[in-house]
């Protein structure tokens, strides 16, 4: 993947981080191959097991997790990893320079209908301690050194930030190379498009209910413009759309599980996506707090998410502030 390496070197990324990103890229190419084989490879459908989240695992959840885990541990660059599909952290090379958290196959409920899914990852520097445990990962998202995702769709794209903006690479299936196709992603601060699971509206907190109600009133309502709704039911796909053409994505708290702050996972989904969105000029919030400022308390922590166009995220926060 020399092309990807050259682009990252031009951005001043150090060789160790480049090597780690190469390893992620190789694993995702293999996941991409398995996905595109589909039923021909017998990888569709569910296992009989549940992950730590209490969700039934798809066969490709397990395959993707094992591919990433094995290649990352073999690299010698990873001190420990955390996965949405693992109960606990997995310790790697004690001399490894990085910690990595990932969702191996986001949106896996879409696999069996051949819809978009993706791999999300978040990278931190490891300290020099000889002891590594869950607490090593409990760092705010603002300390990420890289974050990104690979979206498996009609084309396979690697979307990446190392803290110097957001770039998009398209996997050339013939060369096996990720080729730079978008040098700098920018999100318009305003939008007329939102993504949310409307079937849950009656369960949301009042500020979110009021906000969506006002969007639906369109040009005759208080917002004075019409909005369109889009929903893929895979965070990686909905966020990818925002990075491509703007918009707002939200998965808010709802009262069916009031003890949980949200559905999405802070370490595996919210933090890496928040870094990408902010690096592209957008904002990422819980509705009341910047996501990248949250101090994690455990690796499988959940969080409410509102991200995308900066002015629209600000509008959501105003609805929450008026309800305090």
Is 180 annotated in a binding site? The answer is: no
Judged against a pLDDT cut of 90, whether residue 163 lies above it is answered with yes
Residue 164, pLDDT score: 95
For 190-241, what is each residue's pLDDT tens digit? Answer: 999 999 999 999 999 999 999 999 999 999 999 999 999 999 989 999 999 9
CATH of domain 193-322: 3.40.190.80
Is 105 annotated in a binding site? The answer is: yes
Is 262 annotated in a binding site? The answer is: no
Residue 43, pLDDT score: 62
For 98-130, what is each residue's pLDDT tens digit? Answer: 999 999 999 887 878 888 999 999 999 999 888
CATH of domain 2-182: 3.30.540.10
Is 65 annotated in a binding site? The answer is: no
C-alpha distances in Å from residue 245, one per residue of 71, 207, 271: 33, 26, 21
Of 138, 175, 149, the residue nearest 300 (C-alpha):
138
Q: Where are the domains of the chain?
A: 2-182, 193-322
In the structure encoding, which two tokens stand for residue 183, read together? 């040098």
Residue 34, pLDDT score: 87
From CA 194, how far away is CA 187, in angstroms rounded? Answer: 14
Is 103 annotated in a binding site? The answer is: yes
Q: Quick one: angle between helices 59-74 and 15-37, nearest 10?
A: 150
* Mean local confidence (pLDDT), 18-28: 97
Is 143 annotated in a binding site? The answer is: no
Is 109 annotated in a binding site? The answer is: yes
For 171-184, what is each residue's pLDDT tens digit? Answer: 998 999 999 999 99
């Amino acid at each position: 993947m020399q092309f990807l390496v050259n682009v990252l070197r031009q951005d001043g990324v150090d060789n160790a981080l480049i090597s780690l990103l190469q390893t992620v890229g190789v694993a995702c190419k293999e996941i991409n191959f398995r996905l595109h084989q589909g039923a021909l490879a017998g990888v569709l459908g569910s296992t009989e097991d549940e992950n730590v989240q209490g969700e039934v695992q798809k066969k490709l959840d397990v395959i993707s997790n094992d591919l990433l885990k094995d290649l990352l541990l073999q690299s010698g660059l990873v001190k420990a990893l955390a996965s949405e599909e693992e109960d606990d952290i997995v310790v790697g090379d004690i001399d490894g320079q990085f910690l990595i958290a990932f969702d191996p196959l986001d949106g896996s409920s879409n696999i069996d209908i051949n819809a978009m899914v993706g791999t999300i990852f978040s990278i931190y520097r490891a300290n020099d301690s000889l002891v590594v445990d869950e607490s090593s990962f409990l760092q705010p998202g603002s300390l990420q050194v890289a974050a990104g995702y690979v979206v498996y769709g009609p084309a396979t794209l690697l979307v990446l930030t190392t803290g110097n903006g957001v770039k998009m690479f398209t996997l050339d299936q013939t060369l096996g190379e990720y080729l730079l196709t978008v040098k700098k992603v920018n999100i318009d601060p305003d939008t007329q498009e939102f993504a949310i699971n409307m079937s849950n509206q009656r369960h949301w907190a009042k500020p979110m209910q009021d906000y969506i109600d006002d969007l639906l009133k369109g040009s005759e309502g208080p917002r004075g413009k019409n909005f369109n709704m889009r929903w893929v039911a895979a965070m990686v796909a909905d966020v990818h759309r925002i990075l491509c053409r703007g918009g707002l994505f939200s998965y808010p708290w709802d009262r069916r599980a009031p003890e949980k702050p949200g559905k999405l996972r802070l370490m595996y989904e919210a933090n890496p996506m928040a870094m990408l969105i902010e690096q592209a000029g957008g904002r990422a919030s819980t509705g009341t707090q910047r996501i990248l400022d949250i101090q994690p308390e455990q690796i499988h922590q959940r969080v409410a998410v509102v991200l995308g166009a900066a002015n629209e995220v600000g509008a959501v926060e105003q609805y929450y502030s008026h309800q305090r």
